[in-house]
Structure formats: C-alpha cells, structure tokens
Amino acid sequence: MNPTSINLDEIFKSADDLVAAVLQDHLTNEVLMLAWMNREALELTLKTGKATFWSRSRGAIWIKGETSGNYQEVISLALDCDQDALLIKVKSHGPACHTGEVSCFNSNLGAN
C-alpha cells in the first residue's frame, strides 16, 4: 500500500463525499462486501491497514471487525478511473459478512 499515490483532495471534493469500497479476497479474488468510505475512513484505513468505513445509517465511522474480531487486513487499494470507487484487496480474519458468511454476496437473483 502506497498512501502517497492517493490524492484525497481529488477524491473528496466536499466534506459529504463518499466513495464505494468493494472488498475482494486477495488470494481468491472473491468479492466479499461493499461499504462506503468518507475521507476520514479512508485516512484511517491507510493509517491502520484495517478496512474502515462510514456507516450511512449510524452516521459514524466503523472498523470492520471491531466488535466481531473479523478484521479485513488491507493488502492493496485501487481507485477507479472516475475516482468514486475503490477496490480493496484484503486478507480476511474471519467472515466478511455480518451473517457469518464469507461473502455478503450469496443471493443469486437468477439472471443469466
């Protein structure tokens, strides 16, 4: 992870800006979850190496695994071309989903 290559002012133009954060297992490439980050959450993620997010429902920062122990250790971050989404490759320390599943994406909607 090289935090100096990320220009936070380009990503967060106002205090209310959020970016989508897609977490992916760094070994299997399985998509684990989607959450939102504000500037503070991204700064904390870069500083601690633990995936940290902004809870839109609670209006607060939360560290994934803070209560469950199921941390998501950040291996790498990639910013998309529009600078409004992050792909975060992680080493999971337990399931990513609050239901206990490895991934939050377990419901097949039947599309071909």
CATH code of the domain covering residue 41: 3.10.20.810
Residue 88 within a domain: yes
Domain count of the fold of the chain:
1
Instruction: Convert 70-109 to b/e letters by CB count within 10 Å (16 or more is b).
Output: bbbbbeebebeeeeebbebbbebeebbeeeeebbbeeeee
Residue 34 within a domain: yes
Residue 35 within a domain: yes
pLDDT value at position 38? 96
Residue 109 within a domain: no
Residue 42 within a domain: yes
List the domain range (segments joined by +) for residue 44. 16-92
Residue 2 within a domain: no
pLDDT value at position 100? 87
Q: Pick the closest to residue 93 from 60, 70, 63, 76 (CA basis).
A: 70
pLDDT value at position 36? 97
Output the six-digit token pair for 23: 């977490």
Residue 65 within a domain: yes
pLDDT value at position 43? 95
Residue 44 within a domain: yes
Mean pLDDT by 10 residues, the chain (112 residues): 68 91 97 96 96 94 92 95 94 92 85 62
pLDDT value at position 109? 76
Collapsed DSSP state (helix, strand, coil) of residue 111: coil
pLDDT value at position 2? 47
